[in-house]
Amino acid sequence: MSLLALIPARLRLPITAVLALTLLFGAASLGWVVQGWRMGESLAERDKTHAQTLGRIQSAAALETQRANDKRLMLEQQLQASSQIRYRKLTDAEDTAARLRDRLATAELRLSVLTATSRNADAGHDARLSTTTAAGRLVDGAERANIDRGAAQQIVAITGRGDRAIIALGMCQAYVQAISQEG
């Protein structure tokens, strides 16, 4: 005897249809659940890969930021060292100019210029050099005229400003050169 024989004949078709539909919906539900598991695993793998990629990107960005900071710090140190050297040159030039002004003010030193006399103006000036040399003179035997003390101090002040300008220009050029090499 079979299970089908126990079911009355008029109910066999509806019960079979219900069983078939139940099996169909069960299989579809089971397929849906299995597909959900697969999709969940796929999404989990994608999330893991995405997190790893973001981690690598973040590491690369942090490394690049560190390199840029190190480069900026090195440039700042170079500029600081260059600035200190240039400042030392500037103060040395100012000290030299101040000592020269002081020596001119106390008459310890006199500025003089070569004069253009007929004797010095000839083309044969080199042939008539003096056999004796005067202390503190660059051109032997040439006639010189002393410069007034006030005018000499003004000349020293002008040259001091020129020295400061040249040193400041050198500082600017060093800064621009360092910045352009950095970029």
Sequence spans of domains, the chain: 9-120+143-182
Give the pLDDT of residue 25. 94
Residue 140's pLDDT is what? 57
Please calculate the CA angle 110-111-114 and round it to the nearest 5 degrees: 130
- What is the model's pLDDT at position 119? 53
Residue 120 is predicted with a pLDDT of 47
What's residue 24's pLDDT? Answer: 95
Pair of tokens at residue 160: 């001091």
How many residues are given for the chain? 183
Work out the angle between the directed axes of helices 149-182 and 9-105 (0-180°, nearest 10): 160
pLDDT at 70: 95
Q: Which structure tokens are listed for 9?
A: 């004949």
What is the rounded (10 degree) CA torsion for 77, 81, 83, 87? 150
Which alpha helices (H) appear in 7-148, and where do they start and end? Answer: 9-105, 118-121
Answer whether 178's CB lies under 8 Å from 79's CB: yes
Q: Which residues are 146's β-sheet partners?
A: 112
In contact, 104 and 147? CB cutoff 8 Å: no
* Tokens representing residue 67 in the block: 């390199």
Between strands 144-146 and 112-114, the pairing is: antiparallel
Q: In the chain, which residues have pLDDT < 50?
A: 120-121, 123, 127, 129
